[in-house]
Chain A
Amino acid sequence: MKIAMIGWEYPPFKAGGLATHCYGLTRSLADKNINIDFYMPKTKQKVSSDKKNLIIKEIGETEVFPYDRPEDKELEGHFFESVYRYNDLIVEKVEGNYDLIHCHDWLTMKAGIRLKDKLGIPLILSVHSTEYDRSGWIYPNQWFIDIEKEGMEKADKIIAVSHFTKRVIVEKYGINPNKISVVHNAVYPLGKDKKKNIVLFLGRLTIQKGPEFFLRAARKVLDYLEDTQFVVAGTGEMLPALIDKAVDLGISNKVIFTGLLTEDEVKHIYRISSVYIMPSVSEPFGITALEAISAGTPTIVSKTAGVAEAFNNCLKVDFWDIDEMANKIISLIKYDPLHKTITKEGMQEINLFTWKRVAEKTIDVYRGVS
């Protein structure tokens, strides 16, 4: 079987979980003797593959990141243009004897639809997030919704990263549930290190990821346990506002904003943190939770996050429930038996979340259309 997979990011070029997913998925598919040509925009970093049936094809150049918003100042004016340009380029460049096309999220959906017609082969669409998630369900942008809806309608099969996302696809986009399969994400386990008294947030600093709730919970925790260190890792449009917020809350000396971290730094911070929190307002899956758990870090996730429906050995809260979030952070720090047990059970459960399993389930979907 030969697949044309149309992506946007691939490690080491990485803006979010999409890169992590494409990396794990393509490598495990290759191990299962699927031939993959992975198309992506040319970047400054050199992307490569060590598997002979997985070929990375970098085409053109573009300055749009998958999580950019059209309202971003620098992009204003040529945002839509850049997206169209990349999609046109893909349609032009993708040629060959493929059995099917596999696209991820909105950025390459237009190209996927046109390639389906051009090559006369089935289209598989993976949905890692929708416009509703990225906007935190506040003023979702109709332009994205329209693209997403068209792609979902034209796709032969859809892979959703959670039942939560499947419901959004059915309810907000009106798609037939029978053509949607749920495949939960996976992780390459990081392994643990000696813990420091750090409570970690790691992710894009956007409304969707709920960093403000993290700071407000931090305030509550510090009233109770004043020696706790909080780290906000990552960058995004809310960074300046969050720094102000930390000052307002009087906790600026207890919160470190690291900015964007390298991959090694990310691994390190996961490993030495005592608690990881993912207070997302809307989270289709949340691979970072699996990464933290695999680094032996007890994790608190938003109840509605996709990972919460799939993973047992983590703590779950409503993202807006600051008191409960603080209760759980303090309990994890204060009660060693809790920290030990959830770490141990979590690291055991994480072994079930392999990319091999993701590849197997994805192949099942492929077989259903070819």
Chain B
Amino acid sequence: MTSICLYFEVHQPFRLNRFSVFNIGENNKSYSNYFNKKLNQEIFEKVARKCYIPTNQLLLDLINKNEGKFRISFSITGTFFEYCEQHIPSVIDSFKELFKTGAVDLIEETYFHSLSSLYDDLDEFEDQVKMHRQLIRNLFNYSPKVFRNTEAIYDNRIAKKVEEMGYKGIITEGTEKILHWRSPNYIYKAINSNLKVLLRNYNLSDDVGFRFSSQNWNGFPLTADKYANWMAKTDGNLINLFMDYETFGEHQWTETGIFNFLEHLPGEILKHNHLDFVTVSEAIDRYDIMGEIDVPWAISWADEDRNVSTWLGNDMQIACFNELKNIGKKIKNTGNQDLINTWRKLQTSDHLYYVSTKGFKDGAVHSYFSHYDSPYEGFINYMNILQDLKQKII
């Protein structure tokens, strides 16, 4: 038997307002001008219409139709739920309905989709994970057993911490950097703990996430039966297909046939007797550990480099990251919840992603996701806001 573990990442950042050097120190009390409410609402409502609402409905239908044999998992950020609450609360209800089917698992992560796992001390990371845990408990009355760090960032230190916090498994990228000759299609364990590690099969995942509508790819056009056949021929216990939820209807538009593909996928996969679906919790319960992975330097699922250079690849990104990190203690000591919350919203990794100057291929992806004209604009804006925040605590 080979199990398909399908998992979706659901996230929206709070994008920043235009903030010039002349705005620094202009307003002593408020932080509300940091975030671009109008743009954020527009984007959220657009993506909800194109992706969240129709895809949730389709998945619910598919689960019902396949009597629970179609099983999936979600990782949903705290910032995403805040968007739902503010603009379209029914999206939360539709996630609750999905969860009620029993065929859906939820994954833990940092509430703010931040890089706090890369700070010198892991206390802020722990706080943000606990915030997410509390949120999921409140909304779903559930405690996730599997953890997925921001953009699958992983190293030995993070694994150790995640195990200490009580999780049974963690998700990261199935890159050759850590696997060498080994297959991602098995369960591994972290070298320094008993935490089970689920590794993303990036070839098969990216066939859908990135290449689905790419006409100069030799797999084009990708149909559900073709894709199911590829999986039927794949060796191993477990095929981890992890992708952005926005793949459906947003990164890949309706016109590409992505919904049609998704609609037929469960049926086509279940036609093969040796294939079934599992959630992330079921995957780690069902399969035994096949080997160990040792990751002294952080990896991730982003860009071609599969490391953290997407967020910390140039001097501008490192400067912003350090500014944020270094004011942490002072901010927390104020005890001002509004201030702490603002600081945390600024930690969302997307802000650093917009400042990436990486070369052509990845750069094209970066600019697709960015509302700035260039990484330099992204830096100026972000840094100006960080300077303003800093002035507020002196």
Contacts and interface: CB of A to CB of B under 8 A. Distances in A.
A67 interface: no
Contact of A224 (B21, B319, B373, B379): B21
A116 interface: no
A338 B376 contact: yes
Interface in A306-335: 312-313, 315-316, 323-324, 326-328, 330-331, 334-335
Contacts of A323: 20, 22
A330 B21 contact: yes
Contact of A335 (B20, B314, B319, B357): B319
A329 to B, nearest CB: 9
A276 B199 CA distance: 48
A172 interface: no
Interface in A154-212: none
Interface in B73-106: none
Given A335-B383, A337-B314, 9 more contacts: A315-B377, A323-B22, A326-B22, A327-B22, A327-B380, A335-B319, A337-B319, A338-B316, A341-B314
A340 interface: yes
Nearest to B373: A316
Contact of A331 (B314, B374, B380): B380
Interface of B: 20-22, 314-316, 318-319, 357, 373-374, 376-377, 379-380, 383-384
Contacts of A315: 374, 376-377
Given A312-B374, A335-B319, A335-B379, A324 B314 contact: no
A192 B165 CA distance: 52
A341 B316 CA distance: 7
Interface residues of A, number: 22
A338 B376 CA distance: 7
Contacts of A312: 374
Given A323-B22, A340-B315, A331 B383 contact: yes
A141 to B, nearest CB: 34
Contacts of A336: 315
Contacts of A220: 22
B319 A327 contact: no
A337 B316 contact: yes
Residue picked from A224, A323, A327, A336, most chain B C-beta under 10 Å = A327
B357 A341 contact: yes
Please name the 8 residue pairs, one residue from A and one from B, whose CB atoms are nearest each other, closest first.
Answer: A337-B315, A327-B20, A337-B319, A331-B380, A337-B316, A330-B21, A341-B314, A341-B316
A342 interface: yes
A323 B21 CA distance: 10
A158 B319 CA distance: 47
B20 A324 contact: yes
A224 B23 CA distance: 12
Residue picked from B377, B379, B380, most chain A C-beta under 10 Å = B380
Residue picked from B316, B373, B376, most chain A C-beta under 10 Å = B376
A345 interface: yes
Contacts, number: 56
A337 B374 contact: no
A219 to B, nearest CB: 13
Nearest to B380: A331
A327 B376 CA distance: 12
21 contacts: A224-B21, A313-B374, A313-B376, A316-B373, A316-B374, A324-B20, A331-B21, A335-B316, A335-B379, A335-B380, A335-B383, A336-B315, A337-B314, A337-B318, A337-B319, A338-B376, A341-B316, A341-B357, A341-B379, A342-B376, A345-B357
Contacts of A331: 21, 379-380, 383-384
Residue picked from A324, A337, A340, most chain B C-beta under 10 Å = A337
B256 to A, nearest CB: 28
A330 B22 CA distance: 10
Nearest to A225: B21
Contacts of B314: 337, 341
B292 to A, nearest CB: 38
Contacts of A327: 20-22, 380, 384
A244 B318 CA distance: 44
Contacts of B20: 323-324, 327
Contacts of B357: 313, 341, 345
B316 to A, nearest CB: 5
A313 B380 CA distance: 14
A220 B20 CA distance: 12
A337 B374 CA distance: 15
Interface string A86-125: 0000000000000000000000000000000000000000
A338 B383 CA distance: 10
Contacts of A334: 21
A338 B357 CA distance: 11
Contacts of A345: 357
A335 B21 CA distance: 11
B263 to A, nearest CB: 40
Nearest to A331: B380
Interface string A332-364: 001111101110010000000000000000000
A274 to B, nearest CB: 15
Contacts of A330: 21
A338 B379 contact: yes
A335 B355 CA distance: 14
A341 B376 CA distance: 9
Contacts of A313: 357, 374, 376
Contacts of A316: 373-374
A356 B59 CA distance: 55
B319 to A, nearest CB: 4
A313 B344 CA distance: 30
Contacts of A224: 21-22
Contacts of B379: 331, 335, 337-338, 341
A345 B314 CA distance: 10
A357 B373 CA distance: 27
Nearest to B315: A337
A220 B22 CA distance: 10
A295 to B, nearest CB: 18
A359 to B, nearest CB: 24
B320 to A, nearest CB: 8
A24 B22 CA distance: 42
B36 to A, nearest CB: 16
B373 to A, nearest CB: 6
Nearest to B377: A315
B19 to A, nearest CB: 9
A340 B384 CA distance: 17
Residue picked from A316, A324, A341, most chain B C-beta under 10 Å = A341
